[in-house]
Amino acid sequence: MAADALSPRLFGRQRMQLIETLQERGISDLAVLRAFDLIPRHLFVPEAVRHRAYEDAPLPIGFGQTASQPSLQALYMQVLSLQDQDKVLEVGTGSGFQTAVLAQLVAHVYSVERIPELSARARTLLDELRISNVALLVGDGTIGWSRYAPYDAILVAAGAPIVPDTLVEQLAPGGRLLIPVGDRQQQQLTLIRRTEQGTEREEVVGCTFVPLIGRFGWSS
């Protein structure tokens, strides 16, 4: 990676505008805002749309996938009330941008991606940014990653027809799962909390994500 690609002056004004937009859209967690400021989103999107990297909009990243809207990603992290000692599972590595932001907020990130090329691209970028508290796996995210369970928080970056029990079972006591649930066109961002009595469920906001493909999601 060229050294100037990481220069704080590159896209500096646009990055500041994005932070202001996040605040206008209700993001008040200072740790989340700082993490978004630290990670250069322009490195995680294709060159053809790099000029749009700091717009609050989803962007195509190839293979029929998109990088989610930054304000929605920030909302995920704010709703989950992430702590610096948390262990987090991310379902849908995608471009790796959200993965990199999460790595600034928590102790360990475990991220599953079904498309090998996206996972490999994300690994390269994370290594170039010297982010070392992230482990990546190519596989079916609806199954989770039981080897490192239980998790304090699980983020699912794709729309599911149901909440997979496999993911709920990988939550630690007090753990939180945030997942879009609905049909292929429209979902409700849904928060699941694991309690001593079982689980609590709360709908946060309407949203639209690419389908969650896998054994406990949609068929391809």
SS3 of 26-67 = CCCCHHHHHHHHHCCHHHHCCHHHHHHCCCCCCEEEECCEEE
Overall domain count for the chain? 1
- The answer to whether the bond into 150 is cis (omega within 30° of 0) is yes
Tens digits of residue pLDDT in 108-158: 999 999 999 999 999 999 999 999 999 999 999 999 999 999 999 999 999
The domain that contains 53 carries what CATH number? 3.40.50.150
Q: What is the pLDDT of residues 5-57, one digit of tens each?
A: 555 467 889 999 999 999 999 999 999 999 999 999 999 999 999 999 999 99
Nearest Cα to 81, choosing from 48, 60, 105, 114?
105
Would 218 be classed as within a structural domain?
no
28 assigned to active site: no
The answer as to whether 122 is a domain residue is: yes
Name the catalytic one among 7, 28, 68, 119: 68
Decide: 160 and 186 in contact? Cβ < 8 Å.
Answer: no
Asked whether residue 219 is domain-assigned, the answer is no
pTM of this prediction?
Answer: 0.93
Domain housing 119 = 3-207
- 21 located within any domain: yes
CA distances to 55, 86, 153 from 77, in Å: 19, 12, 10
Amino acid at 31: A
